[in-house]
Amino acid sequence: MPWRKVTPMSQRKEFILLALQEGANIRSLCRRYGISPKTGHKWLKRYKTQGATGLADQPRTPTHFPNQTPQPIEEAVLAIRDKHPAWGGRKIHARLLAQGQTSVPVPSTIQSILHRHHRIDPTESEKHKPWHRFEHEAPNRLWQMDFKGHFPVDQRRCYPLTVLDDHSRFALCLKACVNQQGETVQTALTHIFLRYGLPDRMTMDNGAPWGDSGDQPYTWLTLWLIRLGIRVSHSRPYHPQTQGKDERFHRTLKLEVLSNRVFHDFDEVQHCFDEWRDVYNLERPHEALSMRPPASRYQPSPRPFPDLLPPIEYGSQDIVRKVQANGEIHYQGRTFSICKAFQGYPVALRPTQQDGLFHLYFCQQKIKELDLKTYSN
């Protein structure tokens, strides 16, 4: 039984003085003080070996830790954390294995090491919950493209252009751009296509330079992509989760690169982007990829970037019309508004099984449905 909580030290001293008396009945004294004989003999032994100081409460923290992580491993954990302050236990665990470390502690132990050495904020760690998203079954089936929020650089604004492969999360592009104009994006994409080939489809946000969600959903830039044989789609307005993987990439970029950092010029920004992109693609364990880096699941597209744009050709059954300067076409005495980006280009109307309903195509991409029964000028 425990000691009574009223002045336990004085009770222990009193018990010891009485127990040391000649002829003392230890068992009886223990009953009187409400302790077990085992506890009474424990305090007697401590007093005889340590004096009065032995009667104080002893710390319960063990002095020997047979399962404690070896010091070199702890140092390796902290070194990775210091190099990558946003990485948690699972990423560090995977990175240690990739480095060939032996006796690597489990992620929960690594997390404890980070907490013990004040490398991680418990409130921050609670914010990072696993999130499962749909992914395409092979690389280059879909690329996601967007601009990260801009930030100041040398009295100008930097607009990071990002392109991410949906299947592998491989970062195909991380470009520090001086603007968000179509020419800037086309130049960046040309370099990407030359190195990695062409994807089957690309999805992007609504707005410049790729088109809006209203009556102008296409621009000359998206038409260029379509002519390359790339299907183009836009995210739903006010639904950033459509671009979920690229949005997540942006948050990681902000956390690991941009937070609390000031850049002096665009060369410094791009150098930093290039270094981090290599780490992200080649080293950084990705939780959605079973803690493997994105490069382990990516391979370039077999579709090469052509020297010249292929000609626009349609089938013999297609009804071909040229888009006027105002973005309209004429068919069966009716005028249909298409999109000004198509001015001067031929488009094809293809009848469907539904009477009066036509699908409108530009190259291989369906761009609109036209219902002659309900459409009025």
For 70, 113, 293, the CA distances from 104, given in Å and listed in that order, are 10, 12, 18
Tokens representing 137 are 């079954």
Q: Which of these, 248, 266, 268, 267, lies nearest to 256 by C-alpha position? A: 248
Average pLDDT over the chain reads 84
Q: Which residues contact 208 (CB under 8 A, 6 or more apart)?
A: 180, 181, 182, 219
Residue 31: its H or E element: helix 26-33
**For residue 126, what pLDDT is reported?**
44
CB-based burial label for 317 (10 Å; 0-12, 13-18, 19+): exposed
Contacts (Cβ under 8 Å, ≥6 apart) of 135: 166, 167, 245, 288
Read off the pLDDT of residues 64-105 as tens digits, 9 standing for 90 and up. Answer: 555 667 788 888 888 888 888 878 888 888 888 888 887 888
pLDDT for 299-320, tens place per residue? Answer: 999 999 999 999 999 999 999 9
Q: Where is pLDDT greater, at 109 or 289?
A: 109
Residue type, 227: R
pLDDT at 43: 83
Rg (CA), the chain: 35
Pairing of strands 143-147, 201-204: parallel
Least confident window among 127-136, 221-230, 258-267:
127-136
The residue behind tokens 């699941």 is 297
Q: What is the 3-state secondary structure (H, E, C) of 38-64?
A: HHHHHHHHHHHHHHHHHHCCCCCCCCC
Q: What is the pLDDT of residue 114?
A: 82
Q: Kindly state the helix (H) or strand (E) to which residue 182 belongs, with its residue range.
A: helix 182-196
pLDDT digits (tens, 9 = 90+) for 125-182: 444 544 445 667 789 999 999 999 899 998 999 999 999 999 999 999 999 999 999 9
Q: Contact, 30 vs 19, CB < 8 A?
A: no
Give the tens place of pLDDT for each residue, 27-64.
877 887 788 888 888 888 888 888 777 777 766 555 55
Quick one: 196 exposed, middle or buried, by C-beta within 10 A (0-12, 13-18, 19+)?
buried
Q: Are 148 and 159 in contact (CB under 8 A)?
A: yes
Q: Are 105 and 97 in contact (CB under 8 A)?
A: no
> Most distant CA pair in the chain: distance in Å?
125
Amino acid letter, 302: P
Query: Could you say which DSSP state residue 233 is in?
Result: E
- Other beta carbons within 10 Å of 118: 7
The 3-state DSSP class for residue 357 equals strand
DSSP for 108-122? HHHHHHHHHTT-S-H
pLDDT over threshold 50, residue 363: yes
Question: Does residue 245 contact residue 144 with C-beta atoms inside 8 Å?
Answer: yes
